Structure 1
Amino acid sequence: MSDSLLDIWSLRRRAARDSARHSKRVKEAIRENLRDLISDASIISSDGKKKIKIPIRYLDNYRFKHGENKNEEGVGQGNDGNKPGDAIAHDGTGQPGPGGGQAGDGDGEDIYEEEITVAELVDMMLEDLDLPWLEKKENMVEIETENIKFTDISEVGPLSNVDKKKTVYENMKRNAKLGVGPIIHKIRPEDMRYKVWEMEIEYHSNAAVYFLMDRSGSMDDDKKYIAKSFFFWLSHFCKTKYSNVELIFIAHDTSARIVPEKDFFRITNSGGTMCSSAYQLALDDIEEKHPPSMWNNYVFAFSDGDNWPSDNNKCMEIVKELLEVCTAVGYGEIDTDSFYNYGGLFSWSTLHEEFKKHINHPHFLTASIQKREDIYTCLRQFLKIEAGEDE
């Protein structure tokens, strides 16, 4: 094989390794900043098309070079337990880091910002999750996706489907048989190899997801922000992961109404709280438009639990009815007051406490959020992959 070909293939392998390292570094950076990213106000207030900047350490193509032997002589193999990526030597003369010390004259760490979309971020942070207990339903929509799957190799085909690697291999094999040697030389028609592809057919179960948000006066700015953040990520998760899903947005105080998505995230707060109005509207809409024989229905509600006491019993009854026509019902309660230690004040029994007393159903999911950093944990509680497995 010629030296030039070896160089090309070496570069290709190195590029693949660098790409894999880069992808791994991006995911590590996202994991390190995950809770901050999920609660980032600039992302939540955007239309979802905004590019998100992730700070990542620069990746250099590392190589060995002769050192100055400042501290030690000879060579060695490092310490036991070393693994790829570990630092294998330090000379102990590093400059002071950032902070209260004097400015150093050494090089700083190279940091750059990787831009990713909301959809890409959703893929990375929620890739192992799913809508719980998603079932196949009657009249599923059969979608011919645009994803092309290469399934075989052929000796005939269009030039656009040429498999370069297989073609080069066949050419080298033919030249070796002719005594020329295993080199690339005079590619002929009989060397050509083509990828054979087919369009994938995917079957998607119908799913309708209802978003119920308390917009009453007791939902202060912080509580409202937490609720909107949760629904922002849940809506983008559904759009990114499922091809055939309907999202229905319901806002309520003492009365409820279905609103457009853009209005749902901009709506202001006022009025008292009667959560039963939202549950009843969701139930009516399911019975009218999304029969459970054809749809996986999900209802996710968020409130501060400060519901009018006389309305609690009605909520219990409607939620029990919803569980008969829904694949799952989730309730998240925003309890920032207890986080800031306001628990000593008299308060009514929250809706969350009433649900725990009166509803015991495996597909009824509850969560309590005390601060913005809990949003990610709550998403995983409602979408954990274990819940999607058959019981």
Structure 2
Amino acid sequence: MANFIDRRLNAKNKSAVNRRRFLQRYNKQIKEAVSDAVNKRSVTDLDSGESISIPTKDVSEPVFHHGKGGNRDMVHPGNDQFSQGDRIKRPPAGEGGGSGQGEASPDGEGNDEFVFQISKEEYLDILFEDLELPNLQKNQLAKITEYKTVRAGFKSDGNPNGIDIVRSVKNSLARRTAMSGKYKKRLKQAKEQLELILAEPDENASEIEILQNEIEELEAKIKKIPFIDEFDLRYKNFEQQAVPTSKAVMFCLMDVSGSMDQATKDIAKRFYILLYLFLTRTYKNVEVVYIRHHTQAKEVDEQEFFYSQETGGTIVSSAIKLMDEIVKKRYPENQWNIYAAQASDGDNWADDSPLCSELLIKNIIPTIRYYAYIEITNRNHQSLWREYEQIAEQYSNFAIQHIKDVSDIYPVFRELFKKQIKQK
């Protein structure tokens, strides 16, 4: 039996193609692993690669084997412990057969999980798959750039599913014509010489044999030229083409009052970091406006938004008023797609919550594409949630979600920004 050793270093990116095929095949398991991983990361480490583990049973391949049939003689061990009808006790927890999911049996045997590393790009692709800014409309062709996949000629390597048969056959025909041209020319001459010799009355037997041998050799050489060669293969090439769309701005409103403890602020920051990564990954040149508020609201830069220690009481309406002022001053609704994401623990003065509702309904909702409110608390909902709940029932571009702990961040994020099904 012959053994072939391929010493090529990732020849023609074949391992990259296999890797992409693997990621597509186990997309469901990888998505679940990424969803679990994002909750375990620190606030500053949400955009790096990830080590993914998949249970061995999920990546096992089907095998063919001989079925049980015919007459077989078997010797079974005797049973000196049980009789027919006895009830067998359940084994203690942690014992039994091998789990096949990375846990060892009591005998020390088991199967490790399949672990592999995905890059930053692959991690972010999976993280934000099937997400979009809701209700994005083309107000003015500028600023934002989306990307669409378009045909871009052919390439000499790629996924087998992308082979262009017509172009590959044309290349094969051209190669075979070029390689067999000299043989066919010589073959034609040899056949003509043979016909002339056979037509003469005094035939030269030795010369005829030489020409016949030459003709056979030339025909054999022509037949040896393969019909298709790896050199002939051409694959359809696709590339991302920039498509200009509308201008858009995202307002990030975060409650930093005294009722927001450090754990609650950390959850809010994680949500906003996910939002920022999603915007910069999916779109180009989206403007982001950061607003922190306690009793007073202030527009800040990214550094101060995430790391400032300033705190105070709670007046949520101050942030909504400031947002309204900024929109009227810098972002005309006929030129911009306006979005907002507000995070709070729901603690607010009872008489301020109706004012928030009034400001949103009169000034914000009519001019905004989408407003998302997340309430981070383990307590019962208070007046702010009840006011916002009524707005969400009346307006489709207003959404509210509840986050209790870190594990809720990613599911809530996906729910708020899931891709909408466009009706024809």
Instruction: Determine the C-alpha separation between the residues in 1 that align with 2:138 and 2:22.
Output: 38
Q: Does 1:128 align with 2:169?
A: no
- 1:49-198 alignment runs, 5 A limit: 49-56=47-54, 101-104=105-108, 108-109=111-112, 111-117=114-120, 119-141=121-143, 149-151=151-153, 168-171=171-174, 174=177, 180-181=222-223, 183-184=225-226
Q: Does 1:351 align with 2:384?
A: yes
Whether the 8 Å CA contact 1:132–1:328 is kept in 2: the answer is yes
Quote how far apart the aligned CAs of 1:64 are.
Answer: 6.6
Gaps of 5+ in 1: 75-92, 154-162, 339-346
TM-score in terms of structure 2 length: 0.65
* Cα pair distance change 1:249/1:182, threshold 3 Å: farther
How far does the alpha carbon of each residue in 1:222-263 deviate from its partner, in whole angstroms, 9 at most, with x for none? 221221111111111111111131111111111111222233
**Structure 2 equivalent of residue 326 of structure 1:** 368
- 1:1-391 alignment runs, 5 A limit: 18-24=18-24, 27-42=27-42, 44-46=43-45, 49-56=47-54, 101-104=105-108, 108-109=111-112, 111-117=114-120, 119-141=121-143, 149-151=151-153, 168-171=171-174, 174=177, 180-181=222-223, 183-184=225-226, 200-268=241-309, 270-320=311-361, 321-338=363-380, 349-357=382-390, 360-386=394-420, 389=422
Residue aligned with 2:250, SS: strand
Whether the 8 Å CA contact 1:133–1:390 is kept in 2: the answer is no
Larger CA Rg, structure 1 vs 2? 2
Counterpart amino acid of 1:371? Answer: D
Quote how far apart the aligned CAs of 1:14 are.
Answer: 8.4
Whether the 8 Å CA contact 2:30–2:54 is kept in 1: the answer is no
Task: State the Cα RMSD in Å.
Answer: 4.4
Structure 1 stretch 134-143 or stretch 324-333: which is displaced more?
134-143
Structure 1 stretch 171-180 or stretch 329-338: which is displaced more?
171-180
Structure 1 stretch 284-293 or stretch 139-148: which is displaced more?
139-148
Counterpart amino acid of 2:52? Answer: I
Instruction: Determine the C-alpha separation between the residues in 1 that align with 2:235 and 2:422.
Output: 40
Gaps of 5+ in 2: 71-95, 156-164, 185-218
* Cα pair distance change 1:318/1:165, threshold 3 Å: same
Residue aligned with 1:365, SS: strand
More helix by share: 2
Whether the 8 Å CA contact 1:167–1:193 is kept in 2: the answer is no
Whether the 8 Å CA contact 1:151–1:198 is kept in 2: the answer is no
Quote how far apart the aligned CAs of 1:269 are.
Answer: 5.7
Whether the 8 Å CA contact 1:323–1:363 is kept in 2: the answer is yes
Instruction: Determine the C-alpha separation between the residues in 2 that align with 1:181 and 1:389.
Output: 56
Counterpart amino acid of 1:33? Answer: A
Quote how far apart the aligned CAs of 1:362 are.
Answer: 1.6
Counterpart amino acid of 2:415? Answer: Q
Instruction: Determine the C-alpha separation between the residues in 2 that align with 1:128 and 1:150.
Output: 24
Q: Percent identity?
A: 27
